Chain A
Amino acid sequence: AQSVTQLDSQVPVFEEAPVELRCNYSSSVSVYLFWYVQYPNQGLQLLLKYLSGSTLVKGINGFEAEFNKSQTSFHLRKPSVHISDTAEYFCAGYGGSQGNLIFGKGTKLSVKP
């Protein structure tokens, strides 16, 4: 089955600490992969995307993600988080039955002072 799996539903972390949000995708999902961020009471905005080329992708707000084909993973990282990074993060890839984007269930990142 086509799926995008986010391994952690919640990740608490202290300010200025590094963070990794994990995402795995099934082999039937296209390797066009995305991370979206959703701040409270807002829509989703694109954080970064992998289409091809370098496996390390840099996005906005200091986030980066690494595409790993052998492990079918696309983990999101930030070396030092801020309070303002508190949000829900969604991993997504093309693979729905209609060729649409399918989303993981989200990871809530909570940054504590």
Chain B
Amino acid sequence: DAGITQSPRHKVTETGTPVTLRCHQTENHRYMYWYRQDPGHGLRLIHYSYGVKDTDKGEVSDGYSVSRSKTEDFLLTLESATSSQTSVYFCAISRQGSNYGYTFGSGTRLTVV
């Protein structure tokens, strides 16, 4: 595989609690992305990063924050989880300036009860 792992793979949490999802890559790619996948919506971009400490918002960023202190790690935090954030979260990486598409992690299934 391309060297991208997500943790945890599954998580159940309670409404109002903070949650952090981790994406780790061994490819030294500059760009990293967080998407969420929901039935009928496909994949929607939450946040992305174009370098260490360089991040920006995607189309569905409300309620989420990210951090990237090292090239290899990109963290997604739900400050106060809500039921609407129940979803499958995917991390993806891509090379700088590449039009070769993204490589995806295996996903984290998050359930907020």
Residues of chain A at the chain B interface (Cβ within 8 Å) = 9, 30, 32, 34, 36, 42-46, 49, 51, 90, 92, 94, 96-98, 100-106
Contact = CB atoms under 8 A, between A and B. Distances in A.
A100 B58 contact: yes
Given A44-B90, A98-B48, A98-B58, A103 B102 contact: no
Between B43, B100, B102, B104, the greatest number of chain A beta carbons within 10 A of the residue's beta carbon is seen for B43
B99 A32 contact: yes
A34 B42 CA distance: 14
Contacts of B33: 100
Contacts of B43: 44, 90, 103
A97 B59 contact: yes
Interface residues of B, number: 20
B72 to A, nearest CB: 18
A110 to B, nearest CB: 15
A36 B90 CA distance: 14
A49 B100 contact: yes
A96 B59 contact: yes
Nearest to B91: A43
Closest 5 CB pairs of A and B: A105-B42, A43-B104, A103-B43, A32-B99, A44-B104
